[in-house]
Copies of this chain bind each other. A is one copy, B any other.
């Protein structure tokens, strides 16, 4: 298997971009990644883009061609990958496969979503397309509803508390407050979370990641090319798995089998264990999901994720720093972009370029990107030395 590494990263500010379209956001992120790598568009041999729902959000499909066109990259092959909120990381994985196959040496991977151009209620209906249309969204079950069911089950089974859920958001906002690209760069308190409007019991507004416009991009290169760059960040292991789309078809809704399966593959490929991970980006679309992710990735025993958060172990200076740049909650969650943004932030940390958010001595980082309520999970592990 050919090794691959990341040699360039870029990200737009996440937020409500009323003055920018999807194509502008993706090109802005891509241009930043080129600048970061010291490359020009002519060096890019293929483009991948992760996007969940531009068809419903802005009436535009054919996102690969759109992104290549806007960036002036024709006639390179341009491919859009969709895996709901995991679109970004799955696009990255397939770009890596294309390089490993020997077809390309330098590939741009973008993730982008423009979510604010339609009404909020329509955005919620669009996002419901990540669940099971016939069994869930058609009866009005939204994603907050799905994760509220998961949260309630976890609380009843393991004694996870309402406050522990809130502490996930509080910790992520504490980090995001120092992230200039975050949509909501300020701190919040446990009381703020508990007193925010109820969305779906037990989840309140501040347990939920927001609706966001934004894009992120990375440049992936083959081993021979990457070695010529200053600080390549290497892919050490990758795993992707699927599970039942509808919650009622899962064996257990307090854990995510796809995450466990994907993590197993990625750890095995990297020859690493949970204790070897210096920091992780996990998919906190709702606070409960970060707690379950911490457990499913093996950072603590099953059922102890809430306590792990409460004990401060996920803090930047804690035992296992998680979402050190703000997570989906504070940075924002432009769904197709998130998987790439997570990788951008892992690369920043491993390069030692995370500024006030830097985790000292970080050498191995893990990113977990989840689609829907867990029907797709993808785990990628990165390091500053190839293996």
Contact = CB atoms under 8 A, between A and B. Distances in A.
A326 to B, nearest CB: 25
Interface string A216-234: 0000000000000000000
Contacts of A23: 134
A164 interface: no
Contact of A74 (B65, B94, B133, B243): B243
Contacts of A246: 69
A242 B83 contact: no
Interface in A351-383: 371-372, 375-376, 378
Q: Quickly give the copy total for this chain.
A: 2
Interface stretch (A30-38, A55-63, A144-152, A201-209): A55-63
B241 A69 contact: no
Nearest to A77: B240
Given A52-B61, A59-B137, A375-B65, A75 B1 contact: no
Interface string A81-98: 111100000100010111
Contacts of A133: 58-60
Interface SS of chain A = mixed
B82 A61 contact: yes
A102 B66 contact: no
A100 interface: yes
Nearest to A127: B61
A248 to B, nearest CB: 12
Interface in A323-362: none
B94 A79 contact: yes
A102 B102 contact: no
A250 B338 CA distance: 33
Contact of A56 (B55, B68, B75, B241): B55
A125 to B, nearest CB: 8
Contacts of A196: none
A351 to B, nearest CB: 26
A62 B371 contact: yes
Interface in A165-200: none
A110 interface: no
B62 A82 contact: yes
A151 to B, nearest CB: 21
Contacts of A79: 81, 83, 90, 94, 240
Give the most central of A58, A90, A246: most B CB within 10 Å: A90
Contacts of A52: 61
13 contacts: A1-B101, A59-B128, A60-B129, A62-B245, A64-B82, A64-B242, A65-B84, A69-B245, A73-B242, A75-B258, A81-B81, A82-B82, A96-B101
Interface of A: 1-2, 21, 23, 47, 52-56, 58-66, 68-69, 73-84, 90, 94, 96-98, 100-103, 125-126, 128-134, 137-138, 240-246, 249, 257-258, 261, 371-372, 375-376, 378
Task: Please name the 5 residue pairs, one residue from A and one from B, whose CB atoms are nearest each other, closest first.
Answer: A100-B101, A65-B375, A77-B240, A61-B129, A60-B133
